[in-house]
Every structure is written in C-alpha cells, then in structure tokens.
Structure 1
Amino acid sequence: MPVFQKILASIRTHRRWTIIGLLFGAAVVNGLDRQTLSVLAPTLREKLGFGSVEYSYIATSFLVAYTIGYTFCGRVLDRLGVKLGLAIALAFWSLAGVMHAFATGWLMLAVCRFMLGLGESFNSPSAVKAVADWVPVRERGLSMAISSNGNVMGAILAPPLVSFVAIKFGWQWGFIATGLAGFVLLAVWWKHFHSPEKHPAITKEEREYIQANRPQTTMARPKVAMWALLAQPICLGFFVTRLMTDSITYFFSFWLPDYLTHSRGFTLAMIGLFGWLPFLASDIGGPGGGALSDWLVRRGWNSIKARRAMMLFAACLMPLANVAARTDSAWVALALIGVLLAAQSCWMANQLTLISESVPRENVGTLLALSALGGSLGGICSTLLTGRILATYGYVPVFTGLSVMHLLAFAFLTWSQVRQQRRDIRAA
C-alpha cells in the first residue's frame, strides 16, 4: 500500500507521465485497429474470395491515405493543437474501423482501410509534438519509446483478442469491438489531456522545469514551409531514412499472420496463441532502446550521438532476416522475427527522438509528418511489390531485401548530418 501511494504521489507531481500514458493509450487503439485486418486476413481471403495481390491493394489503400494525411496533418496539429486535432482523428478512425464489419468484398475493405489510414496518420505526429511540449531532453528517448510502443501493444493484443472474438461471434465483431474501443479512449483523452501551460493540475515547479529544459536547435528561422524543409540536408535525411526503413514495420503488420498461415502452417487459433510474441519483443525493444540512449545522455553523451548509436546497433541486427526466412523451424523463425521487430522498435524510438531534437519545436509536427510521408511512400511501394513477389516467388526474397535497408539508411542519414553541419558552419 505505501508503494502504491508513492506511485500516486509521483504521478501527481510529474504530470508529464500521465500525458505519456494518454499518448500510449491512443497508440494502443491505433495499433489495435490497424492490426485487426491483418489477424483476420487469412479468414477474409477465404470468406470474401481474394488473393495476395488484392490483399496488397487493401493494405496499400491504407498507406495511400496515410501519405495523403501526412501532407496536411502536421499543419493541422500545429494550428489546432494536439488535444483537438487528435480527438477529431481518433473519432474518425474509430468509425472507419467499425465500418470494416460491413464489407462484402475486397474493394469495400480497401475503402474502409483508406478512411482508417487518413485518421491514423495524425497519431504519430501528435505524440511527437506532445512529447516535445511536455518532456525535457534527458527523458525524451524513453518517453518517445513508451508512447510510440503503444502501437506495438495494440499489435500484441490484436491476435488473442480479435481471434477470440472472431471465433466466438464471427469476424465482423472483431472490427466492431476494436473500433468501439477508440470511442471509449476519446472520452478519456478529451477530459485529461492539456498542454503544460493550461494543465489544471500541474505544479508550478514541474511547469517551470519543462519550460526551462526545452532544447535549443541550430536552425535559425522558427517557421519553415513543409516542402521547404527538404532543402535542409538533415530533413531530407529523415525523409529518405524512413522511406527505406518503415517498410519492415508495415510488412510485419500487414503480412505476419498471412506468413504464419501459408508458410508455417498456423491456424487462426494458433495465431491467437502465438502471433503476438514477436510484437511483445518489439514492445521491449523500443523502451529499452530509448532508455539506453537516455542513459548515455545522462552520462555526458551528446544526445544526437546517443540516439545514433542505438540506431546503428539496431541496424546491425537486421541481417538476421535472412536466417528467419531460410530456417526449417517455424519457432526459430518466430523468435528471429521477434528480434527484428525489437530492433525496428529501438530504431524507430531513437529516430523519432532525433527528429524532435533536430528542429525548433514549432516545426516538430511538420517535420515528423514529412518524414512519415517518406515512410508511407516506401510502404506503398514495398507493399505493392510484396504482393507481386509473394504471388510468384514466396517470402524469401522479401526477407532478403528487408535485411539490408537499415544499414543503407543509416549511411545516408550520416551523410545528411555531415552536410547539415557543414551548411550550419558556412551560415554562421
């Protein structure tokens, strides 16, 4: 009991962790709604009669909407604020999730996925912008990892929850149950989220601590048009890096249940029992990588070098994808996929933190949206290509391609950072 009271007292005096909890909850619902289709994909392919190519179109429609959403969601959040902007998006994507239950073919599923993607495109920029407003630099890596890993927790919950509901009540109820969860969260979000300047329960000490520890950046002008950011080498670097590496997240989010079904012989019940394990590893990798980079910062490392070190470590694990695709053991493959997702989560947590520390806070939402636009474009191309490759060659070439992307992306990001430093020196 005293321990519980201490925890409550800590939360009352550190309201920023309550905000991180809300962002985590929004990301859980986001990931749950997104992953419901993936869990049910083998069932829907049988019930509604479509193949891997049509499924790639359904998944791509989500990414196309994501891409469109990223062209304007950053500006919307910068103008409306995180509270109202994410509330509108949450209501929209939750309604879209429920509408999946009424699909009668792959084309209607594609329309529903488009609507879902349009709403969900607001989630990640909202989290990054909120963390930039609420969290000091020394706590930001862990905070970003926790908030972003809500998507992973949604992916962990989806296989057992959705498969249970689908087996018990029918596949339509899988979509209805996960969609309704979003409306429950909406009420909690609207009641409890505020900016540091307006939060009714924050202490004066915490508000001053947050404001005093917001980072200074080297970019001289506080407001830059979205596409003008690409003229900054570091911004171009983030765009291309996510273009190359977000595809592994989309691949396992969209195709893992299908891979386990058609390449490893899993049933829907087996997916419910074991399909969440790789995402559990991902949920460990993100906070772990974020906490380690924060630990390095607290011990005197430059924050950018700390984030980059963890990204390089994650990139060096990605060639294990070659082993996962070629092993004869389904369980070894599942374990290695868990390692890959943990590394990807570590990479993403530190990459998002690096983005938030690379531009003035007024442009964080815009740069995050721009970089995520690159990730969506990469996801669109890779998902369409995956559908075609699977129909002809199977999964081995896909795993092989994914194994090298992070190392190439890290090299490009390093080059862009060097160019940015030289440009800043000349400008000074």
Structure 2
Amino acid sequence: MVFLIAAGVLNYIDRATLSVANPLIRADLGIDVAQMGLLLSAFLWAYAFAQLPAGALIDRVGPRLMLTCGLTVWSLAQVLGGIVLSFWQFIGARVLLGLGEAPHFPTCARVARDWFNIRQRGTATGLWNCASSLGTAVAVPILTAVMFLVGWRWMFVVMGAVGIVLALVIYSLFRNPSEVDLTPGERDFLSEGDDAAVADRVSWDDWKRLFAFRTTWGMIAGFFGTIYVLWIYTAWLPGYLEMERHFTISKTGIVGAIPFVFGVVGSIFGGWLVDYLARRGVSPLNARKYPMAASLLLTAIFTAVAAETPNDSLAIGCISVSLFLLYISSSAAWAMASVAAPANTTASIGSMQNFGGYVGGALAPTVTGFIVKASGSFVPALLTGAVIAVVAAILYMVLIDRPIPARDAAGLRAAS
C-alpha cells in the first residue's frame, strides 16, 4: 500500500510539471497558448487510449512487472521533457508520459484484489486512490520549489530520476501473491468470493467478452461523468478563480489547493463506506454502486450551486464538497473493478472503466475552454458538467445489475 500511494502521488506530481512550468516553457521554446493546449491534451489522449491494452497486459504478466515498467517509462518521459528542444519533441515526451502512466491505476485495482479480502478491498482502494488528490494538492508547491532551485529543465530531470529510483525499489521488494509462499488458509482468505474455475491469466476471449455485458458499459459511462467533472476542476480551477472570481494569483495558489485536500478525505471515506455497507449485508456490487451514483448526483447539485452563487466563500465551499464527493465516486468505481468481473480480468475491466473516464477527462478542458470563450463565463461550463454527472449516475444505476460471470463457470452452467 505504501508503494501504491507513493507511486500514485508521484504519478500526479509528474502530470503537473508542464502546468507548473507553463510560462517558462512557452518563453523558452517559443510555444503559443494554442500549442500549449495541444501539449496539455497530448498526455490525456495517449493515457486514455493506452488503457485498453494496459489492462490486458497487467492481467497477463502481473502487477509487479507492469508497475515497475510503467513507472520506469513515465520517469524516462519526464527526463526527456527536460531536454527537448522543440514543440514536437515535447509532444512525443508527453505521449510517452501518457503511455507510461496508463497501467498504474488498473495495476492498483489488481493489487487490491490480489492482496486484500473482499471485505477489505474498498478501504484499500480508497487509500491508494487518495494519492491522485494528494498528488494534485502537493504538486504545485513541490514543483515550484524545485523549479526555482534548479530551473524548469532540471525540474523534469529530477522528478524523472526520483521515479526511476522508486521503480527499482518496487521491483526489488514488491511481490505478486504467486511469488510468495502463502499458506492454503491465506490463499483462501485472499480469494474469498472469487470463482475457483477462473484461469490465472487472462486470454483474448476473456478480455473481449467483457464488452458484451451491460455492467462494463455502465462502469465506462459512470466513470466518464466522474472524471469529466473532476478534470473541469483539475484543469480550470486556477483559471476559474482568477477569471470568474477575480482572485489574485497568490490567493489562487492557496485557495486552489483546499478542494483537493477535501478530495483526499473523500477518497479514503469512499473506500471505507464501501466496506462498511458490505459488512452491513449489502451485496459487494451494490455496496459500490449506490455510493458511486449518489455521490455523482450530489456532485451535480453542489457544482450547480457553485456556478450560480455570487458568494465567493460559498462557491469555494461547494467546489470543496464536489471534490469530496467526486473522490467518493472514484473510490467506489475503482472498488467496483475488484468485484464486477472474474479475478483474472480485474485490471482489464478497470482499464476499460478508466478509458471511459479519461475520454471524459480529455474532453473536459477543451469543451470548458470553448464554452468559456463563447459565453465569457464559467457558469454554463459548470452547469454542463453537472448535467453530465446526472446522466452518468443514471446510466450507472440502470446498466450495472450483476457481476460478470466467469467464462468457464458460465459454460459449466449452460452445459448442466
């Protein structure tokens, strides 16, 4: 768990390097604002489309190798970001960053299933998932300090070196359950609730058949809504505070971190809530489904209030509550990956869900920018996010109705 959180925090700090060094990079490389927008989105599209093969690879070769390889690749991409000389070289570095970071969260979902009992997986998921909000909250002060000390290029190189060292440590100390001499009782404890007929390694047929089930599409649609709204705030919160609320840059730097602290709490609480409901007799599927859908609906309400209120303090309070709720929904969604499909496809279905989420994440900054440019206000952009959250919650409730059965088990039942 310590390794997952550390790598997750570094994951989100590394994503933020371009944003923090934005003005210096544009001045140094002669990049205009439109090109910077393409640079920012290059990571997101690469990250989204790399999800699908990444999940299958994780289920095939195991979390230890994929966690190490992904961390190494994205750290090398950071180093390359510090030595680029042109816009297109930087595009290549950001695409490589997206490819390297793609396996991380599906790997975490697989680790939660591999190393935790079914009644512990929600809390475990909430803990590793909080790294995304924690990383976002600490990225600006850490990266700004490093950049002032050594410059923007060395900031990229230093963060890349940190990642490579962490990758070596993880590969040396982390193990998959199959690589550890567990007792039969320990293996039974970890695999409680899993279908014994499932093969250890995922096959092509196992992977592609996931798309035949409503549950998969419900997870994709629900996470699209979660990450869409989350990336409105992640990409545009500083701009919103400065342009819509007329905050100074220094005030924005302080106030802008507050909602993401609420996100850390929401992630951990969401994971705990999933396990609490399961212990109270709610089915593992519904213990994740209900908090996910409810938090999305509440997010829509608080986002709409934040958009419409003229009171700055109320707006910041509503945005903070929205981030708290979004991370509840995120933890519940990732915890769903550990119970919605057979054990050997946990990372696969998690990556499909994350693909849907980051298509939303890639669209949100662009759509928001166009709406703000056309209307001169963030209000319709935030209301659009609220509507998307409501639709996503409804689809999540309607489409997800039962766990996806194992292929072998389904065949045995049909034969009998």
Q: 2:190 aligns with which of 200, 210, 213?
A: 210
Q: Distance in 2 between matches of 1:226 and 1:205?
A: 30
For residues 220-269 of structure 1, the C-alpha deviation after alignment (integer angstroms, 9 at most, x for no partner) is 99854434321111112212222333212233233333333444455655
Residue 110 of structure 1 aligns with which residue?
Answer: 91
Offset at residue 95 of structure 1 (A) = 1.5
Residue 334 of structure 2 aligns with which residue?
Answer: 352
Residue 375 of structure 1 aligns with which residue?
Answer: 357
- On the 8 A contact 1:282/1:345 being kept in 2, the answer is yes
Offset at residue 181 of structure 1 (A) = 2.3
Q: How does 1:149-228 map to 2 (within 5 A)?
A: 149-199=130-180, 206-211=186-191, 213-216=192-195, 224-228=205-209
**Distance verdict in 2 for CA 1:272–1:98, change over 3 Å:** farther
SS across alignment from 1:356: coil
Letter paired with 1:241? G
Q: Distance in 2 between matches of 1:219 and 1:259?
A: 49
Residue 53 of structure 2 aligns with which residue?
Answer: 72
Q: How does 1:334-353 map to 2 (within 5 A)?
A: 334-353=316-335
Offset at residue 127 of structure 1 (A) = 0.5
Which residues of structure 1 form unaligned runs of 5+? 1-19
**Distance verdict in 2 for CA 1:217–1:204, change over 3 Å:** closer
For residues 350-391 of structure 1, the C-alpha deviation after alignment (integer angstroms, 9 at most, x for no partner) is 011112201101111111112222222223333332332333
Of the structure 1 ranges 44-53 and 246-255, higher mean CA displacement relative to structure 2 is found in: 44-53
- Identical aligned residues as a percent: 28
Residue 278 of structure 1 aligns with which residue?
Answer: 259
Q: Distance in 2 between matches of 1:43 and 1:327?
A: 35
- On the 8 A contact 1:229/1:236 being kept in 2, the answer is no
Offset at residue 418 of structure 1 (A) = 4.1
Residue 73 of structure 2 aligns with which residue?
Answer: 92
Q: Does residue 413 of the first structure (1) align with residue 396 of the second (2)?
A: yes
Offset at residue 183 of structure 1 (A) = 1.8
Which residues of structure 2 form unaligned runs of 5+? 405-409
Letter paired with 2:105? S
Of the structure 1 ranges 45-54 and 81-90, higher mean CA displacement relative to structure 2 is found in: 45-54
- On the 8 A contact 1:310/1:350 being kept in 2, the answer is yes
- On the 8 A contact 1:39/1:257 being kept in 2, the answer is no
- On the 8 A contact 1:163/1:269 being kept in 2, the answer is no
SS across alignment from 1:300: coil
SS across alignment from 2:119: helix
Residue 108 of structure 2 aligns with which residue?
Answer: 127
Offset at residue 210 of structure 1 (A) = 1.8
TM-score using structure 1 length: 0.84
Of the structure 1 ranges 22-31 and 270-279, higher mean CA displacement relative to structure 2 is found in: 270-279
Q: Distance in 2 between matches of 1:63 and 1:81?
A: 25
Offset at residue 308 of structure 1 (A) = 2.0
Letter paired with 2:400? Q
- On the 8 A contact 1:285/1:343 being kept in 2, the answer is yes
Offset at residue 53 of structure 1 (A) = 4.1
Letter paired with 1:334? I
The size of the alignment, in residue pairs, is 405
Q: Distance in 2 between matches of 1:131 and 1:199?
A: 16
Across the aligned residues of Structure 1 and Structure 2, the Cα RMSD in angstroms comes to 3.1
Q: Distance in 1 between matches of 2:206 and 2:331?
A: 25
Q: Does residue 384 of the first structure (1) align with residue 363 of the second (2)?
A: no
Of the structure 1 ranges 294-303 and 375-384, higher mean CA displacement relative to structure 2 is found in: 375-384
Offset at residue 29 of structure 1 (A) = 1.0
Letter paired with 1:150? A
Q: How does 1:235-314 map to 2 (within 5 A)?
A: 235-265=216-246, 269-314=250-295
**Distance verdict in 2 for CA 1:407–1:30, change over 3 Å:** same
Residue 398 of structure 1 aligns with which residue?
Answer: 381
Offset at residue 86 of structure 1 (A) = 1.5
- On the 8 A contact 1:286/1:346 being kept in 2, the answer is yes
SS across alignment from 1:138: coil
Residue 361 of structure 1 aligns with which residue?
Answer: 343
Letter paired with 2:334? L
TM-score using structure 2 length: 0.86
**Distance verdict in 2 for CA 1:217–1:311, change over 3 Å:** farther
Letter paired with 1:397? P
**Distance verdict in 2 for CA 1:208–1:355, change over 3 Å:** closer
Offset at residue 22 of structure 1 (A) = 1.4
Of the structure 1 ranges 158-167 and 170-179, higher mean CA displacement relative to structure 2 is found in: 170-179
Q: Distance in 1 between matches of 2:35 and 2:47?
A: 19
- On the 8 A contact 1:58/1:107 being kept in 2, the answer is no
- On the 8 A contact 1:41/1:257 being kept in 2, the answer is no
Q: Does residue 324 of the first structure (1) align with residue 303 of the second (2)?
A: no
Q: Distance in 1 between matches of 2:7 and 2:19?
A: 19
